[in-house]
């Protein structure tokens, strides 16, 4: 399915041409029919000779309704620019053509209407040359001009076949699994409720899908859909769709809202854009000028910030950051138009390069301009890497949503980005710009190195502490640790590969004394404070890290040998007697109740034993003998 827009001056026979081609009068309002004037968007459709359905959006041509025209041309594949043979090129013709050019609609067919009113063939040729001269000033310089008459039918078959040939040259609409429907009409149907219409892009939409409206965030569900008056279960990108929404009243929806999947689009008040200033504007664009921005079916008053220019002269191009008065659901790659609000005048347009810059940029910053230029004109792999930059990795589906690539395009760009080391793959679906990944890896290595310098007698930094310092999720930390050749994880510690605890001669002497004291009373060791007085708390902590000592509670440590003997004996006793209690353990090892209870509670915490009444039995983590 394809969608075209009909555009042109108010008196050039646009709506009549659409009605003749389709049998449908696009002027649905009574006022439009009485005044013979298109005021709002009209819709019709026709089946092309090759069997494809073609949707037609008839937009207003009068200058007083140019903003309604802008709401209808955002999602079209091509345009029929209507020029009357008896009048030729008019000011509105130039403005409409400039808008189509700025919006990137370069597939245009010019319908030269009302040729039945012209007897002189030379006049037709003159008007045609006039149109071609106008087209030559734009990117649409190869548009064919087809003379037609809606009254006699002359040239209509040629117009349809020319249009079909142009549409056949276009690539299929990309499906990157993120449906987006800019709403251009809202109404209610008795017995059904709220219905919205628009041109679908980005992905397929299904009956039963949960949907979200942006910028309001209101939630609903697709109750039913029609495309060209036919009920459909699934709507594909590029088709005109009427969506019956369950869960929302008509008053909750307005033109310019975008219907999408929940969480797929976030509205914004600040956007970075590349702007083209029209040639025939009578004044330069100034910093902080008030404008009106139009994109899709949305609009908002705004102020422009010139990022790399003092002013922008007519016919020039440059980088702007636009501050919107109202949040709009904009995405990267969206085309936009700027107009002065008073007196109303179209001044230019361009493409949204970064819909969520996050902050206001300082002006004349070369690094900001370089980043924006890369976003605009970088290779697919470079664009992908830019999207994957940041403080955390990005899921594959998020990458696809932001770049707008098809599955095949995404796979190729991703393969190139990996081959060029622009992106690092962390899992099957998780990717990170290599620059961001290396920066985090370097920060992680630095944090561990600093910890070793401050705490030379610690085995390493606790993983939980490292995670807190880096402010990343635990699963990401684990991924990065497993990929690092310079760091190792040991129990709950992270250390450099070559890090070792090295004791001084005096510390070794003190350690020997500690071990003698503990050996003299293996199962009733002196309090931890007493051991700290002998060797110092940092040394005792190091012995615990090295597993030469085992800390079972705040004030009690055993030597490794004594601890393992206790654990082994407790499990053997349980195997022989089904259970053990604190009194039995005390008596077996000639210790005190304090140490027996502390040991059993410690083993409970590890799952080696489990408490049943006052006794202990084997726990879920007890080793099997």
Helix axis angle, 463-470 relative to 474-483, nearest 10°?
110
- 78-84 and 2-8: which strand pairing? parallel
Cβ burial of 34 (10 Å; 0-12, 13-18, 19+) is exposed
User: Is residue 280 within 8 Å of residue 51, measured between CB atoms?
Assistant: no
Question: Which stretch of DSSP H or E encloses residue 6?
Answer: strand 2-8
Give the pLDDT confidence score for residue 487 in this predicted structure: 94
pLDDT at 34 over 60: no
Say which DSSP state 378 is in: S
User: Is residue 534 within 8 Å of residue 517, measured between CB atoms?
Assistant: yes
Q: Mean pLDDT across the stretch 577-599?
A: 92
Continuous H helices in 136-258: 156-168
Nearby residues of 570 by Cβ (< 8 Å), 6 or more positions away: 580, 585, 599, 600, 603, 609, 616
pLDDT, tens digit (0-9, with 9 covering 90-100), for 395-434: 988 888 878 777 888 889 899 999 999 999 998 889 999 9
For the domain 268-369, what is the CATH code?
2.40.30.10
How far apart are the C-alpha atoms of 533 and 551, rounded to whole Å? 17
pLDDT, tens digit (0-9, with 9 covering 90-100), for 389-400: 888 899 988 888
**What is the number of residues in the chain?**
625
SS3 of residue 336 by DSSP:
strand
Model-level pTM greater than 0.85?
no
Question: Can you count the helices (H) and strands (E) in the chain?
Answer: 19, 34
Give the pLDDT confidence score for residue 64 in this predicted structure: 47
User: Is residue 538 within 8 Å of residue 454, measured between CB atoms?
Assistant: no
How far apart are the C-alpha atoms of 400 and 178, rounded to whole Å? 9
Q: Mean pLDDT across the stretch 6-14?
A: 60
Query: Which tokens is 569 given?
Result: 């004996």
Sign of CA dihedral 223, 227, 233, 237: negative
pLDDT, tens digit (0-9, with 9 covering 90-100), for 74-110: 677 788 888 888 888 888 888 888 888 888 888 888 8
Query: Which tokens is 226 given?
Result: 């029609």
Confidence band of 321 (pLDDT split at 50, 70, 90): very high
pLDDT at 249 over 50: yes
How far apart are the C-alpha atoms of 403 and 109, rounded to whole Å? 30
How far apart are the C-alpha atoms of 202 and 178, rounded to whole Å? 5
User: Is residue 558 within 8 Å of residue 550, measured between CB atoms?
Assistant: yes
* C-alpha distances in Å from residue 42, one per residue of 73, 153, 454, 619: 12, 22, 73, 75
Residues of the chain with pLDDT > 70, as a percent, come to 92
Q: Mean pLDDT across the stretch 332-346?
A: 90
For 436, phi then psi, to 5°, come to: -70, -40
How far apart are the C-alpha atoms of 198 and 180, rounded to whole Å? 9
Give the pLDDT confidence score for residue 560 in this predicted structure: 94
User: Is residue 607 within 8 Å of residue 564, measured between CB atoms?
Assistant: no
Lowest mean pLDDT among 7-21, 385-399, 493-507, 609-623: 7-21
Q: Which of 55, 326, 8, 300 is nearest to 199 (CA)?
A: 55
Lowest mean pLDDT among 54-63, 163-172, 379-388, 509-518: 54-63
pLDDT at 4 over 70: no
* C-alpha distances in Å from residue 433, one per residue of 388, 426, 470, 487, 576: 5, 10, 17, 21, 59
**Euclidean distance between the first and final Cα of the chain, in Å?**
71
Q: Mean pLDDT across the stretch 192-208?
A: 91
Query: Which tokens is 592 given?
Result: 């005190």
How far apart are the C-alpha atoms of 138 and 61, rounded to whole Å? 20
pLDDT, tens digit (0-9, with 9 covering 90-100), for 510-534: 999 999 999 888 899 999 999 999 9
Looking at 1.10.3720.10, 3.40.800.10, 3.20.20.70, 1.10.10.10, the CATH number of the domain 436-496 comes to: 1.10.10.10
pLDDT, tens digit (0-9, with 9 covering 90-100), for 448-493: 999 999 999 999 999 999 999 999 999 999 999 988 889 999 888 9
Give the pLDDT confidence score for residue 516 in this predicted structure: 93
Looking at 1.50.10.10, 2.30.140.10, 3.40.50.1110, 2.40.30.10, the CATH number of the domain 180-260 comes to: 2.40.30.10
2-168 CATH fold: Rossmann fold (3.40.50)
Sign of CA dihedral 63, 65, 67, 73: negative
How far apart are the C-alpha atoms of 124 and 133, rounded to whole Å? 14
Residues of the chain with pLDDT > 90, as a percent, come to 53
Give the pLDDT confidence score for residue 194 in this predicted structure: 92
How far apart are the C-alpha atoms of 292 and 342, rounded to whole Å? 10
Beta strand residue intervals within 307-334, DSSP E:
311-312, 317-328
How far apart are the C-alpha atoms of 346 and 96, rounded to whole Å? 10
Angle, CA 41 vertex, CA 36 and CA 43 arms, to 5° = 95
User: Is residue 152 within 8 Å of residue 51, measured between CB atoms?
Assistant: no
Question: Which stretch of DSSP H or E encloses residue 438?
Answer: helix 434-454
How far apart are the C-alpha atoms of 142 and 159, rounded to whole Å? 15
Give the pLDDT confidence score for residue 36 in this predicted structure: 41
Confidence band of 313 (pLDDT split at 50, 70, 90): very high
Q: Mean pLDDT across the stretch 592-608?
A: 93
Give the pLDDT confidence score for residue 74 in this predicted structure: 67
pLDDT at 51 over 60: yes
Mean pLDDT rounded to a whole number for the chain: 87
User: Is residue 497 within 8 Å of residue 487, measured between CB atoms?
Assistant: yes
How far apart are the C-alpha atoms of 570 and 616, rounded to whole Å? 9
- 268-277 and 344-354: which strand pairing? antiparallel
Give the pLDDT confidence score for residue 44 in this predicted structure: 74
More confident residue, 16 or 581: 581
User: Is residue 432 within 8 Å of residue 393, measured between CB atoms?
Assistant: yes
Nearby residues of 567 by Cβ (< 8 Å), 6 or more positions away: 603, 608
* C-alpha distances in Å from residue 142, one per residue of 99, 145, 394: 17, 9, 41
Chain centroid to CA 248: 25
Give the pLDDT confidence score for residue 27 in this predicted structure: 54
Query: Which tokens is 306 given?
Result: 């010139």
How far apart are the C-alpha atoms of 505 and 118, rounded to whole Å? 111
Query: Which tokens is 194 given?
Result: 């709220």
Q: Looking at the domain covering 505-618, what would its CATH class be?
A: mainly alpha
Query: Which tokens is 342 given?
Result: 């008073």
Give the pLDDT confidence score for residue 624 in this predicted structure: 76
């Amino acid at each position: 399915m394809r969608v075209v827009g009909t555009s042109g001056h108010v008196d050039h026979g646009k709506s009549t041409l659409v009605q003749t081609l389709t049998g449908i009068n696009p002027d649905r309002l009574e006022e439009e029919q009485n005044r013979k004037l298109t005021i709002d968007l009209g819709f019709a459709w026709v089946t092309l000779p090759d069997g494809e359905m073609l949707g037609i959006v008839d937009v207003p041509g009068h200058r007083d309704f140019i903003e309604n025209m802008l709401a209808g041309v955002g999602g079209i594949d091509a345009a029929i620019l209507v020029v009357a043979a008896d009048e030729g090129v008019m000011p509105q013709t130039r403005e409409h053509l400039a808008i189509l050019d700025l919006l990137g609609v370069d597939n245009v067919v010019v319908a030269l209407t009302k040729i039945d009113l012209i007897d002189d063939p030379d006049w037709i040729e003159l008007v045609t040359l006039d149109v071609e001269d106008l087209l030559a000033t734009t990117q649409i310089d190869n548009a064919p001009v087809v003379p037609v008459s809606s009254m006699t039918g002359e040239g209509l078959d040629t117009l349809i076949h020319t249009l079909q040939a142009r549409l056949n040259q276009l690539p299929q609409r990309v499906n990157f699994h993120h449906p987006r429907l800019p709403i251009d009409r809202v109404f209610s149907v008795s017995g059904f409720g709220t219905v919205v219409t628009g041109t679908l892009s980005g992905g397929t939409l299904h009956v039963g899908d949960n949907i979200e409206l942006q910028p309001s965030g209101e939630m609903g569900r697709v109750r039913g859909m029609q495309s060209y008056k036919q009920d459909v279960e699934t709507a594909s990108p590029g088709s005109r769709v009427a969506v019956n929404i369950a869960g929302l009243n008509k008053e909750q929806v307005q033109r310019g809202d975008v219907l999408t999947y929940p969480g797929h689009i976030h509205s914004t008040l600040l956007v970075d854009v590349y702007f083209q200033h029209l040639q025939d504007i009578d004044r330069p664009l100034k910093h902080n000028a008030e404008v009106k921005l139009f994109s899709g079916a949305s609009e908002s008053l705004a102020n422009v910030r010139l990022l790399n220019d003092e002013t922008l002269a007519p016919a020039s191009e440059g980088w702007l950051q636009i501050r919107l008065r109202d949040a709009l659901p904009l995405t990267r790659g969206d085309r936009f138009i700027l107009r002065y609000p008073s007196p109303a005048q179209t001044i230019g347009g361009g493409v949204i390069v970064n819909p969520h810059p996050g902050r206001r940029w300082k002006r004349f910053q070369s690094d900001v301009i370089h980043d924006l230029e890369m976003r605009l004109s970088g290779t697919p792999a470079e664009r992908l890497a830019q999207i994957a930059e940041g403080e955390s990795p990005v899921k594959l589906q998020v990458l696809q949503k932001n770049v707008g690539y098809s599955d095949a395009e995404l796979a190729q760009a991703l393969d190139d980005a990996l081959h060029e080391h622009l992106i690092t793959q962390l899992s099957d679906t998780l990717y990170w710009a290599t620059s961001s990944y290396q920066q985090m890896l370097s920060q992680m290595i630095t944090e561990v190195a600093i910890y070793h310098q401050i705490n030379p007698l610690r085995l390493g930094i606790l993983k939980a502490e490292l995670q807190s310092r880096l402010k990343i999720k635990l699963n990401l930390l684990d991924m990065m640790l497993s990929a690092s050749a310079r760091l190792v994880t040991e129990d709950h510690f992270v250390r450099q590969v070559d890090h070792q605890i090295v004791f001084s001669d005096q510390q070794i002497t003190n350690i020997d004394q500690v071990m003698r004291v503990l050996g003299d009373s293996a199962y009733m060791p002196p309090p931890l404070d007493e051991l700290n007085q002998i060797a110092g708390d940092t040394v005792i902590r190091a012995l615990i890290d090295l597993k030469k000592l085992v800390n079972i509670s705040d004030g009690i440590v055993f030597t490794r040998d004594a601890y393992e003997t206790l654990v082994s004996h407790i499990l053997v006793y349980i195997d022989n007697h089904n259970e053990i209690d604190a009194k039995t353990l005390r008596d077996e090892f000639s210790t005190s109740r304090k140490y027996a209870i502390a040991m059993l509670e410690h083993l409970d915490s590890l799952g080696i034993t489990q408490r049943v009444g006052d006794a202990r039995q084997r726990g879920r983590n007890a080793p099997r003998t």
